[in-house]
Structure 1
Amino acid sequence: MSGRSGGAQDDPDKEFANTLARGLELLLCFAPGESALRNKDFVQRTGLDKATVSRLAYTLDQLGYLRHDAADGKYRLGAAVLAMGYPLLANMSLRHVVRPWIKSLADEVRGTVSILIRDRTSMVYMETCRSEQETAPLMDIGASLPIIASTSGRAWLARTTPQERDKVLNQVKVLYPKLYAEHIAKVRRTLGDLAQRGYLSGPGLVQPERVVVAVPMARPVNAEIIVFNCAVAPQGRPVEPLRAHLGARLITLTRGVEIAMGLA
């Protein structure tokens, strides 16, 4: 989901640092599978002019957030980006609490169980475990899914406040109009499913044949809505009973974690 992040504001706001926001936009231009970008890529993806991009890229290079390769003229993410994100993951005690829980469920259902949080218009993997029988690639921590197109994203949208939901959906509409048009009707239809069943379900985003269920925690953790996700290949099993079973098991896991963390 590369593209303009929507971070920099055109409306006057004395508290908003546009230069900082534009620098962060450059760092957000990188997508999985893209290890290096040129200045022209930054220009295309941010809408900033060449001179501004050149100045920002140079500054980020000097600070260690980008690395400039003189041989090919491209920029790569620097180690400072990794160092900046590590304290966030390290300080999230939830990851350490849930790891044995989600590994146990993954082994039981012969699938993958993960926890995700929102990053702007995406859902990002915080932790993930899979069974030894699972053949699908394991999603790396930090990998992301479009919030509007994924089951976990729809679970987040169903749990958050109407005001925050509208804000995020408006961002998707502006930044990714095609994606918005393709999925908004389904999002609207399924918002009530969480209250009715306690979980949301749908096909896998990358592998549509897989059954995916998602359950958000009832209360935020560190001001974040955490979503539990379970993905399983049916392997000949009837889909509807499998979906109901996975939903019930994921609800039980989520509520157990909430009790263990003193949130229930």
Structure 2
Amino acid sequence: MERDKGTVRAVERALDILLCFSGTEMELGLSDIAKKVGLHKSTVHRLLASLESKGFIRRHPQTEKYRLGWSVLELVSNVYQSDDLASIVVPEMTHLRDEVGETISLYIRAGKERIRTQAVESNQPVRRVANIGQRFPLYIGASGKVLLAWADPLFVQEVMNDPNWPKELSKSDFKNKLAQTRENGYAISIEEREAGAAALAVPIFGRDNQIVAALSISGPVDRFTPEAVKRFIPAAQKTATLIGKMLTR
């Protein structure tokens, strides 16, 4: 019984540590975390080591500060596929689909990938087929650029330093594209991931103006004319703003 109580107490303390990162602070030092949870640094260090081994916490090699790890993002991806979220976003995505006539998708970041968590397909005979749950690299496609454009700069650098980064993709050009995405408020991709396909994506912001997802319009490249894109941009941004407000209620 005492052992069980000790295990429960350790779990509670580990969860308290994770909740330290629920505010606006991206990184915390060992002393900061110990102060927040009211525990000795040695105890916090042991718990952080366990959380780090499971991928829920990661430590910056230079600053020695801690931040949330990829395992948390994997859990978040499941949350964003829940029925509750679907009841919020799918009606708005359907309305956008009916307005622009193309496939609408919702992407979130999970580690160094993006996952399509919701999709409403176009009713047109020739259309993009969007499979929910598909994963794609962040460095390819409009949604990937949007998710990186408003991400933490240290994370962006991690993605660009990944061994899987395509050699043919210029890092300096990619940084410029991210800057352009932030300036414009949207990103466009033409046949980046798939021949004959194009996409436009905009950010969805949650609490504290943090990006939580990317909303995209995709379809055959021949329908993404300059006139069509000019019409898609305000429609997508309006829908993204509505979804963002719903998520922060």
TM-score normalised according to structure 2 size = 0.62
Q: Find the aligned partners of 1:127 and 1:257 in 2 and give their Cα distance.
A: 13
| Whole-angstrom CA distance in 2 between matches of 1:193 and 1:220 | 24
Q: Which residue of 1 aligns with 2:137?
A: 146
Residues 214 and 14 of structure 1: CA distance in aligned 2, closer, same or farther (over 3 Å): same
Residues in 2 aligned to 1:257 and 1:85: alpha-carbon distance in whole angstroms: 17
Deviations 1:230-260 (A, max 9, x none): 113254x572222222122111110111223
Aligned sequence identity (%):
16
- Report the Cα distance in structure 1 between the residues aligned to 2:78 and 2:154, rounded to whole angstroms: 29
In the alignment, which of 141, 146, 155 is matched to residue 164 of structure 1? 155
CA RMSD, 1 decimal: 3.0
Residue pairs, 1:1-264, within 5 angstroms: 14-15=49-50, 88-89=79-80, 91=82, 93-170=84-161, 172=162, 174=163, 176-177=164-165, 179=166, 181-182=168-169, 184-219=171-206, 225-235=212-222, 239-262=225-248
Counterpart residue identity of residue 85, structure 2:
L
Would you say the 8 A contact 2:94–2:120 is kept in 1? yes
Q: For structure 2, which runs of at least 5 residues remain unmatched after alignment? A: 1-47, 56-74
- Residue identity matched to 1:111: E
Gaps of at least 5 residues in structure 1 are 1-12, 22-83
Structure 2 counterpart of 1:213, which letter? L
Report the counterpart of residue 72 of structure 2 in structure 1.
none
Residue identity in the other structure for 2:143: S
Measured after TM superposition, the shift of residue 224 of structure 1 is 6.9
Q: In the alignment, residue 200 of structure 1 is paired with which amino acid?
A: A
202 and 137 in structure 1: CA distance in 2 versus 1, 3 angstrom threshold? closer
Q: Distance in 2 between matches of 1:182 and 1:143?
A: 22
Aligned residues: 182
Is the CA contact 1:158–1:191 (under 8 Å) kept in the aligned structure 2?
yes
Deviation at 1:86, TM superposition (A): 9.5
Deviates more, 1:193-202 or 1:155-164: 193-202
Which residue type is aligned with residue 196 of structure 1? Answer: E
